[in-house]
């Protein structure tokens, strides 16, 4: 192949970057030139820009809101500006193919790619397509699904089920390193609390209010979100982090159970690592309801327990965590049937095919 250059896009949340992070090393090892288009100040810039061998390009981007805001009047102009910027970048770097993970930053890139005639593939992690990907689908060659059930919501001629694309490095975590990093021990099982890349204040507050009850049975690693740690809490068996990146693999290796939101990328990572989970999805008031559907799918498959945010209380959280610890062995048995490593190779094959056609 003469033009071994690929451009990735996606952002807004860590979930819209993780699949790209899983694929980028594949193309680096194969000697491809790699570009990434994201926003000027989003989490994708934080995660991607430090990578060696990846050229990061920032563009203007709006936000696809589902509520009334005066900012909605400005966003179409930002999208038009971002599309023009992406059109120029694509014309300059001349990628053979574009891979989009979604998020509002991807919309201008997909539109510009269509104008430039560059084949584009998008990946949908959630059970139902997000708004950005819904907008993008008419302009791309392929849309890939993580949940088999998602195929019912996608155009038949463009859709392909591939499953979850998991970063290789997550399988290389070391439990001993994780315990050393957190200062925890092997004396009690370890419960990981995660609220997504932005944290989850409702979960944070409730966990902190029941620490005395929980620490009798478990140790806790609490990833709180930027600016959301509480330095006043100093209890044995409880450790806080704002955000974890390079050491996440070791923290996951040290974790016996997890309490988490229900973003698709995160929960599939827990599944691939066979970590039993209690999912507290974002409510419909705070989202389009995709996390609720994701969580119910995992509940039906016996990979997780689910606690709706509207039902989150100190008593219900303690009860569900105790039930999680009891159900964990059975959950792990069900998780053994899940195969994650084939998905990445399948996505790579689809990308190659798109270039040739």
Do 264 and 232 reside in the same domain of the chain? yes
pLDDT, one tens digit per residue, over 81-124 is 999 999 999 999 999 999 999 888 999 999 999 999 999 999 99
| H/E segment holding residue 120 | strand 120-124
User: What is the side-by-side order of every strand in the sheet holding 33-39?
Assistant: 54-59, 33-39, 5-9, 97-100, 120-124, 142-145, 159-161
Do 248 and 118 reside in the same domain of the chain? no
Is the sign of the CA dihedral 244, 61, 123, 45 positive or negative?
negative
Task: Check residue 64 and give its pLDDT.
Answer: 56
Do 187 and 329 reside in the same domain of the chain? yes
Do 145 and 201 reside in the same domain of the chain? no
Task: Check residue 341 and give its pLDDT.
Answer: 67
Do 108 and 230 reside in the same domain of the chain? no
List Cβ neighbours of 199 (8 Å cut-off, separation of 6 or more).
Answer: 223, 224, 225, 226, 228
Using 50 as the pLDDT threshold, list the residues of the chain that sit under it: none
**3-state secondary structure labels for all residues of 295-345:** HHHHHHCCCEEECCHHHCCHHHHHHHHHHHHHHHHHHHHHHCCCCCHHHHH
User: In CATH, what number is assigned to the domain containing residue 45?
Assistant: 3.40.50.2000
Do 118 and 196 reside in the same domain of the chain? no
Q: How far apart are CA 173 and CA 254, in angstroms?
A: 8
Cβ neighbours of 184 (radius 10 Å) = 22
Task: Check residue 245 and give its pLDDT.
Answer: 82
Do 349 and 303 reside in the same domain of the chain? no
Do 157 and 299 reside in the same domain of the chain? no
Whole-prediction pTM = 0.84
Q: How far apart are CA 127 and CA 297, in angstroms?
A: 8
Number of domains the chain is built from: 2
- Residue-number span of the structural domain to which 153 is assigned: 5-165+340-356
CB contact at 8 A, 34 and 28:
yes
Task: Check residue 67 and give its pLDDT.
Answer: 52
Do 156 and 13 reside in the same domain of the chain? yes
Do 123 and 212 reside in the same domain of the chain? no
Do 317 and 277 reside in the same domain of the chain? yes
DSSP 125: -
- Phi and psi at 26, nearest 5°, equal -60, -45
Task: Check residue 282 and give its pLDDT.
Answer: 85
List Cβ neighbours of 34 (8 Å cut-off, separation of 6 or more).
Answer: 5, 6, 7, 8, 24, 27, 28, 53, 54, 55
Do 308 and 351 reside in the same domain of the chain? no
* Residues making up the chain, counted from first to last: 357
- HSE-CB of 68 using CA atoms within 13 angstroms: 0
With 0-12 CB in 10 A as exposed, 13-18 as middle and 19+ as buried, what is 125?
A: buried
Task: Check residue 290 and give its pLDDT.
Answer: 86
Task: Check residue 119 and give its pLDDT.
Answer: 96
């Amino acid at each position: 192949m003469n033009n071994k250059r690929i451009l990735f896009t996606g952002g807004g949340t860590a979930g819209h970057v993780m699949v790209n992070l899983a694929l980028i090393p594949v193309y680096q090892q194969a000697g491809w030139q790699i570009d990434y288009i994201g926003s000027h100040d989003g989490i994708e810039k934080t995660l991607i820009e430090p990578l060696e061998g990846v050229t990061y390009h920032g563009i203007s981007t709006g936000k696809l809101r589902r509520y009334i805001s005066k900012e909605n009047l400005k966003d179409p102009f930002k999208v038009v500006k971002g599309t023009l910027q992406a059109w120029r970048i694509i014309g300059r770097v001349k990628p053979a193919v574009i891979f989009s993970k979604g998020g509002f930053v991807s919309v201008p890139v997909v539109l510009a790619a269509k104008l430039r005639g560059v084949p584009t593939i998008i990946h949908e992690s959630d059970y139902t397509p997000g708004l950005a990907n819904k907008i993008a689908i008419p302009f791309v060659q392929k849309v890939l699904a993580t949940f088999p059930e998602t195929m019912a919501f996608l155009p038949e001629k463009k859709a392909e089920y591939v499953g979850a694309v998991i970063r290789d490095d997550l399988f290389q975590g070391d439990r001993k390193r994780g315990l050393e990093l957190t200062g925890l021990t092997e004396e009690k099982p370890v419960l990981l609390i995660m609220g997504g890349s932005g944290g989850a204040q409702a979960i944070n507050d409730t966990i902190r209010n029941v620490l005395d009850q929980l620490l009798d049975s478990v140790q806790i690693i609490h990833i709180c979100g930027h600016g959301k740690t509480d330095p006043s809490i100093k209890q044995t068996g409880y450790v806080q982090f704002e955000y974890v990146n390079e050491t996440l693999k070791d923290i996951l290796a040290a974790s016996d159970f997890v309490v988490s939101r229900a973003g698709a990328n995160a929960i599939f990572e827990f599944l691939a690592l066979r970590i039993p989970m209690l999912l507290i999805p974002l409510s419909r008031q705070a989202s389009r309801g995709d996390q609720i559907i994701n969580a119910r799918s995992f509940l039906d498959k016996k990979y997780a327990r689910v606690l709706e945010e509207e039902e989150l209380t100190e008593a219900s959280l303690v009860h569900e965590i105790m039930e999680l610890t009891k159900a964990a062995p059975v959950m792990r048995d069900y998780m053994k049937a899940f195969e994650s490593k084939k998905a990445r190779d399948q996505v790579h094959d689809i990308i190659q095919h798109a270039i040739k056609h």
